Structure 1
Amino acid sequence: MTGWAQLRAALAVEWLKFRRARPAQVTTAFLVAGVTALCVLTVHPPAGGSSLTAAKAQSIGGEGGWAGLFTAADTIIAVAGLLGFGVVIGWVFGREFTDGTVHGICAAPVSRAAVAAAKLLILSAWAVATAVGLAAALIGAGLILDESGEPDLRTRVGKFLLVAVLTAALALPCAWVATLARGYLPAVAAVIAVVVLAQMAVLTGIGGWFPFSLPGLWAADTGAVPAGRLLLVLPIPVIGAALTVHRWQRLVSR
């Protein structure tokens, strides 16, 4: 088979596996429904809550309305998205080793590089679709709650989608970690460690130069991160994807 034929065959198989994957289904539901609920609670905290909780919600959601809803979404997705996307990416690659299905992949006529590329393409499409679904859910929630005070909603939505997609892109190296460690748990541990490091970078004042902190800081509109610095994010997914495909090309069944 030609390279394109192998990729098409791999895409068909990998898509069938992915759409049946329970971790992907649960994570999608959490990122769409769960994050939407968190954003709504941030902008409209329940009556009778503690003053500390209300103050925290105020610091994230600001004055409320459409601006507060999407500001909360930007902040939450920068952390929850990195965890959620990272876990699913690590699982998609790592499960082949923990379930022993990698032996069949190594014996298949489709190249291992094509399989890895197909996984990455499907995961990328899923991440974009999840971001769009979450944006739609936020708009729906805002309309139901009759939010106001935002003259340019399209700008807010576009900014959120950029933050969400960049966050998903930063999680792509989890595929390489799962392949290198031959399991998904090390990838989960790695993405948790990255989230902790990103928060520490922000607290120590170097988050503006740490790629994994950049989407969230830029979304905060504090002026600490100019839009051009988001270009520092781009090498992370490119290098992660290249290392993953290269590793799969050299993969040997054990």
Structure 2
Amino acid sequence: MVLVPLASVGAVALARSPRAVGATAAKLTAYATGDLATTHLMVCAQVLSVATLFAAGFFLAWSFGRELESGTAGALFGLAVPRGTIALAKCLVALAWIAGCTILAVAVSMAVSAVVTASSGAPFAGAWAGARTALVAGLLGGGLALPFAWVATVTRSQLGTVGGLIGVVALTQMVVLLGGGSWFPYAAPSLWTGMGGADAAAAVGPPHLLVAAAVAPLAVAAVVHAWRRLTDV
């Protein structure tokens, strides 16, 4: 997550640099103007909406898939703790890890942004609203990774789970291109942060974000149910 603040500040610096020409300038044009601190945190939110999904997805593929894939999950049947409770604990640990990394990434991004804006004489007040957006986007992105704990349980494959994650990301791109991104949970957080432009961000409201937020508790319930039914390990 240390890369998040570096990417946030670096992208804005490149966008406002005379070295940004051609295709690079076109891709970064949204970061070339506006309040400096606000733009830093906007980029942070966009990066986190995707980074937490990937990082948490890989973590959950390992956490839930390794025992089932290696055949060592049979030892869980000898524990006094029910397997459903173990699955719930794994999910809660993952959520705590996601929340901690997101908070750390936003805090470091704000600290780096404060140093940069102070050196340039720009105001810093606009960063606070951006920090809230970044926190929400990061938490939503991490929560959207929880269904892959269920995928790891069903497929009993870490590689298969990572493949499912990549497939969902590809599907998200197609849904956005077809204009259905605001109601698609895996697209809404990123669009809300402005990754698809100002018009796409304006089309995402609280109902769309609530749909995305609902994925996490539903996924936890599905994972716990699947682990309770584990028999052949």
The TM-score range, normalised by the shorter chain, is 0.7 to 0.9
Which digits, 9 at most, give the CA deviation of each residue in 1:69-97, with x for residues without a partner?
11111222222221111111121101112
Quote the RMSD (CA, aligned, Å): 1.9
Q: Report what 1:202 is aligned to.
A: 176
Q: Tell me, in whole angstroms, the C-alpha distance in 2 between the residues paired with 1:144 and 1:228.
A: 36
Q: Tell me, in whole angstroms, the C-alpha distance in 2 between the residues paired with 1:59 and 1:129.
A: 29
| Conserved? CA contact 1:43–1:64, under 8 Å | no
Q: Is the counterpart of residue 218 in structure 1 residue 197 in structure 2?
A: no
Q: Which residue of the other structure, out of 166, 169, 173, is the alignment partner of 2:140?
A: 166
Structure 1 unaligned runs (5+)?
1-31
Q: Tell me, in whole angstroms, the C-alpha distance in 2 between the residues paired with 1:61 and 1:77.
A: 20
Q: Which residue of the other structure, out of 33, 39, 59, is the alignment partner of 2:8?
A: 39
SS at match of 1:40: helix
Q: Which residue of the other structure, out of 63, 68, 83, is the alignment partner of 1:97?
A: 68
Q: Is the counterpart of residue 238 in structure 1 residue 217 in structure 2?
A: yes
Which digits, 9 at most, give the CA deviation of each residue in 1:21-57, with x for residues without a partner?
xxxxxxxxxxx11222211221111764553113312
Q: Tell me, in whole angstroms, the C-alpha distance in 2 between the residues paired with 1:183 and 1:39.
A: 34
SS at match of 1:225: coil
Q: Is the counterpart of residue 183 in structure 1 residue 145 in structure 2?
A: no
Q: Report what 2:116 is aligned to.
A: 145
Cα shift at 1:114: 1.0
| Conserved? CA contact 1:169–1:237, under 8 Å | yes
Q: Tell me, in whole angstroms, the C-alpha distance in 2 between the residues paired with 1:61 and 1:104.
A: 56
Q: Tell me, in whole angstroms, the C-alpha distance in 2 between the residues paired with 1:65 and 1:198.
A: 30
Q: Tell me, in whole angstroms, the C-alpha distance in 2 between the residues paired with 1:62 and 1:170.
A: 31
- Letter of the aligned partner of 2:57 in structure 1? G
Q: Is the counterpart of residue 85 in structure 1 residue 56 in structure 2?
A: yes
Q: Tell me, in whole angstroms, the C-alpha distance in 1 between the residues paired with 2:182 and 2:223.
A: 27
Show the 5 A alignment for 1:9-158.
Answer: 32-45=1-14, 48=19, 50-60=21-31, 62-63=33-34, 65-146=36-117, 148-158=122-132
Structure 1 residues 198, 64: CA separation in 2 closer, same or farther (over 3 Å shift)? Answer: farther
Cα shift at 1:61: 6.1
| Conserved? CA contact 2:106–2:131, under 8 Å | yes
- Letter of the aligned partner of 2:191 in structure 1? L
Q: Report what 2:166 is aligned to.
A: 192
TM-score normalised by structure 1 residue count: 0.81
Identity among equivalent pairs (%): 30
Structure 2 unaligned runs (5+)?
none
